[in-house]
Amino acid sequence: MLKVGVLGAGHLGKIHLRLLQESKKYELIGFYDPSEENAKKVALEFGYTSFSSIASLIEAVDVVDIVTPTLSHFDCAKQSIEKGRHIFIEKPITKTVLEAEAIKTLASQYHVQGQVGHVERFNPSFTAVKEMIDNPMFIESHRLAEFNPRGTDVPVVLDLMIHDIDIILSVVKSKVKHISASGVSVISDTPDIANARIEFENGCVANLTASRISLKNMRKTRFFQKDAYISVDFLEKKCEVVKMKDAPEQPGDFDMVLQNAEGVRKQIYFDNPNVSNNNAILDELETFAEAKGLNTRFQSRQWQSEHLDRTMHSARQAPARAEKS
């Protein structure tokens, strides 16, 4: 099992702590939170071990799970990587592209693995239809949330829209050609509402809207492709697939058939894929544990520790053997 520690014990950090405690792939060592009051409260309520500093936690683990406010992501990641620790880091990876590129460079230099917590990739409503999404040419995404001061340290694009950007980039197999976007600040100092239009080289167009000052919550994305329409509700964990195929010459009484102006007839049929009841956050954490290189490095460190123990034991036994001889 990989020894893991969590940096940050806020709302999401406590969820990570609970799931890592339950996981069979990790051994939860403890956590660090800069608020001494909160750290004591979490340790007392849940029984997790609280560390007095980031450095002491890093020294005790193989993997560092970074669930701190975005502005501190880079410093936490840098300290962890320079100590040779793998990192799981919540989205957004950093506040700036420059910091993100620096983390990638450091991870390569120190030969460690890293994963960003784009949890919607593991949302069961998306995984249920992912293999059906084939060369979509128009995508429409709406991610609306009621106001929560917890995410206002970054713009709504990095807070909310980033989920949909990641999903879209994972299914559109083409380079981005052009982006046009606009945003408005309403409550915070950075945009609270944003709209973006992403055009890809293959002709696909994606329209994204994100708001964190909505009166209701919504997380829906619709994919349009040749002969199919796929709808994913990330919030309600539901999905729907509407497909079209050439209509038979003699359709049944209950078949739904459409005919265009050119006389082409298509039969419409509906599919509601089975949506599993998995925990997306646990899945993303355990997927990281299975990443190539993580256990190899852990086993190497474990072997080095055991080898050192055997060496020390032999050294302690040497004087006794010398006296007997």
Mean pLDDT in residue range 296-301? 50
Average pLDDT, stretch 249-270?
75
β-bridge mates for residue 66, sequence order: 7, 89
Q: Where are the alpha helices (DSSP H) in 25-96?
A: 36-46, 54-59, 73-82
- The boundaries of every CATH 3.30.360.10 domain in the chain are 129-236
CATH superfamily, domain 2-117+281-291, is NAD(P)-binding Rossmann-like Domain (3.40.50.720)
Q: What is the distance of C-alpha 194 from the center of its chain? A: 21
Q: What percent of the chain has pLDDT over 70?
A: 89
CA separation, residue 130 to residues 133, 147, 239, 275 (Å): 5, 30, 11, 12
Q: Model pTM?
A: 0.84
Which helix (H) or strand (E) is 282 found in, with range?
Answer: helix 280-289
Residue 320 pLDDT exceeds 80:
no
pLDDT-based confidence at residue 296 (cuts at 50, 70, 90): low
Q: pLDDT tens digit string along 51-110?
A: 999 999 999 999 999 999 999 999 999 999 999 999 999 999 999 999 999 999 999 999
Q: Which residues pair with 139 in a beta bridge?
A: 206, 223
- DSSP H or E run through 310: helix 294-324
- 3-state class of 144 per DSSP? strand
Helix or strand run (H / E) with residue 176: strand 176-184
CA dihedral 272, 278, 284, 288 (to 10 degrees): -120
Higher pLDDT, 284 or 318: 284
Residue ranges, CATH 3.40.50.720, the chain: 2-117+281-291
Taking Cα atoms as reference points, which of 47, 11, 27, 10 lies closest to residue 285?
Answer: 27
Average confidence score pLDDT of the chain: 89
88-103, pLDDT tens digit by residue? 999 999 999 999 999 9
Specify the pLDDT at position 253: 67
Provide the 8-state DSSP code for 136. -
What Å distances lie between residue 125 and 109, 128, 232, 279, 322, CA to CA? 37, 5, 6, 12, 69
- CATH: 3.30.360.10, 3.30.1490.20, 3.40.50.720, 3.10.105.10. Which one for 129-236? 3.30.360.10
Please check the confidence at residue 44 and state whether its pLDDT lies above 80. Answer: yes
In this predicted structure, the answer to whether residue 292 has a pLDDT above a threshold of 70 is no
